[in-house]
Chain A
Amino acid sequence: EVQLVESGGGLIQPGGSLRLSCAASGFTFSSHWMSWVRQAPGKGLEWVGNIKQDGSERYYVDSVKGRFTISRDNAKNSVYLQMNSLRAEDTAVYYCTRITGIWYFDLWGRGTLVAVSS
């Protein structure tokens, strides 16, 4: 089955760190850019960042630059989001997404909730 499954979310204190994982299956993972998109409670969608097929290029929204890092392991069909110096405004459901074509998110995981609170 073609799917993305996120894990690693939870409750974390401000200033803390968390690493999200996304396991891909059912497609050739190494052929696709991958992305993380988040959605704060009751709010719209926000693109967080992208990573190229071989990991050589990564791009981020300004609000997470220097704090978040996207990485991938093509041998494990997985993409990761390392989140440091977390803030209350980072509270959201984080979706792992596959990028296809030029450029659209054609496959989404179910999401994992990150709650930043003391």
Chain B
Amino acid sequence: DIQMTQSPSSLSASVGDRVTITCQASQDIKNYLNWYQQKPGKAPKLLIYGASILETGVPSRFSGSGSGTHFTFTISSLQPEDIATYHCQRYDDLPWTFGQGTKVEIK
């Protein structure tokens, strides 16, 4: 199975900071990657699909890029409500797998 390595596992940043999370696939997955946000005690929420397409209603400070094996998720200006764990997920082939998650905290 293709493995997804997400980093960092956690980070602490200040309000207004630019935050970047990466997801590395063990093989080429083209652009078959999604990003989800999971707030504490809640279900995940889709933010980005197809590596870079913003889901309807998601603030534009969230963005995704990349293709092949290297992907990046960015929050351009961190807000207090962005405190959550972020997960990448590949869907190029079964079994679909998720990264280990990145916990984002406010400094």
B-contacting residues of A (Cβ < 8 Å)? 37, 44-47, 59, 61-62, 95, 101-106, 108-111
5 cross-chain CB contacts under 8 A = A44-B101, A45-B87, A95-B43, A102-B50, A104-B91
Q: Secondary structure at chain B's binding surface: helix, strand, loop or mixed?
A: loop
Chain A CB within 10 Å, residue with most, of B42, B55, B95:
B95
Q: Chain A residues near B91 (CB, 8 Å)?
A: 102-104
The 4 closest A-B pairs by CB, nearest first: A108-B43, A104-B49, A45-B98, A47-B96
B100 within 8 Å of A by Cβ?
A: yes
Please tell me if the beta carbons of B87 and A44 are within 8 angstroms of each other in the complex: yes
A111–B91 Cα distance when bound, in Å, is 22
A103 CB, nearest partner CB in chain B, Å: 5
A20 CB, nearest partner CB in chain B, Å: 15
Q: A45-B101, A109-B43, A111-B43 are in contact. List 18 more A-B contacts (CB 8 A).
A: A37-B44, A44-B87, A44-B98, A44-B100, A45-B44, A45-B87, A45-B89, A46-B97, A46-B98, A47-B96, A47-B97, A61-B95, A95-B44, A102-B50, A102-B91, A104-B34, A104-B46, A106-B55
A44–B36 Cα distance when bound, in Å, is 12
Please tell me if the beta carbons of A47 and B55 are within 8 angstroms of each other in the complex: no
> With A105-B34, A105-B36, A106-B55 given, is the CB distance from A47 to B46 under 8 Å?
no
B64 within 8 Å of A by Cβ?
A: no
Please tell me if the beta carbons of A47 and B43 are within 8 angstroms of each other in the complex: no
